[in-house]
Amino acid sequence: MRAQLVLALAIASSPWGSSWADPLCARFGQPEYTATRVTQTAAAPPLASLVFLSGPRLRIEAPGPREGRMVTLLTPDLQALFLTTADPPVAIRMPVARPAPLPAEERREREERAPGRFTLITEMRGASGQWHEIGRVVCRRDGVLLEARQIIPREGGPAMMETRQSEIRMGTQHPALFRLPAGFRLIDPPPRPAR
C-alpha cells in the first residue's frame, strides 16, 4: 500500500499536474475511455491499475489491502486518495505541488508526428547549456495517452516514471466515478515527520 500511496502522490506533484488528465494529450482531444495502465519508477515493481478518463477527470484504481481497491481521483475540483474498504470511510486530500515555472529560454517542447500519433518531447537546459529530455509523451490523434516518460520529484532526488496504457476502450464514463463514495469523508494528510 505504501508504494501505491507514494506513486499516487508522485503523480499529483508531477511537472504536468496543472491539468489533471494527461494534459499534454488533451491538446489533441478530450476523450472518454477506460484503459489498463502500468506505471513504474526506478527501484519499484510495476504497478498495474485501471484508468477511467472523462475529459479533465481521471480515476485510477489499483489493488489494495483487504481485498479493496486503492483509488486516486484527480479532477479540477478534487484530488484525493482512498481505499474502498477503509474503516472508517475516509479519503485523504492529496497535496498538489506546483513547480516553479522555468523561464522560456530554459525549457522547450518539440513535437514529432507519426501515422496516428504524436510524440511530445519536453527538454530543459542544464547548467552546461546542453538540452536534456525531462519528458516524452506519446498520444493518439484523438487525445488518448499511449505512453509517457517523465521526471518526477521524490525524496532522495528526481526519478523517471514510465507509464504505458493498453486495452483502451472508448466510451462515456459515469460521473459518479469521479466523486467520493457516499459516506466517505475528506481529510487532510497527516503531517510529515520532523527530520
* DSSP 8-state code for residue 64: -
- Which pLDDT does position 97 carry in this prediction? 62
Residue 25: which residues within 8 A CB-CB, separation 6 or more? Answer: 137, 139, 140, 143, 144, 145
Q: Note down pLDDT in tens along the chain; length 195 residues.
A: 444 444 444 444 443 333 334 666 888 999 999 999 999 988 788 999 999 999 999 999 999 888 899 999 999 999 999 999 999 999 999 877 666 666 777 889 899 999 999 999 999 998 898 999 989 999 999 999 999 998 877 777 888 889 999 999 999 999 999 999 999 999 998 877 665
Residue 151 has a pLDDT of: 83
Q: In terms of residue numbers, what domain contains 107?
A: 2-187
User: Which region, left, alpha or beta, applies to residue 48 given φ > 0 means left and ψ of -120 to 50 means alpha?
Assistant: beta
Residue 174 lies in a domain: yes
Q: Is residue 165 part of a domain?
A: yes
Residue 93 DSSP code:
E
Instruction: Kindly state whether residue 152 falls inside one of the protein's structural domains.
Output: yes
CATH number of residue 24's parent domain:
2.50.20
pTM: 0.80
Q: Indicate the number of domains in the chain.
A: 1
Residue 88 lies in a domain: yes
pLDDT at res. 20: 39
State residue 41's pLDDT score: 87
The reply to whether 194 falls in a domain is no
Evaluate whether residue 106 is within a structural domain: yes
| Residue 27 falls inside a structural domain | yes
Q: What gap in Å lies between CA 67 and CA 85, rounded to an integer?
A: 8
d(CA 58, CA 179): 10
Q: Is residue 193 part of a domain?
A: no
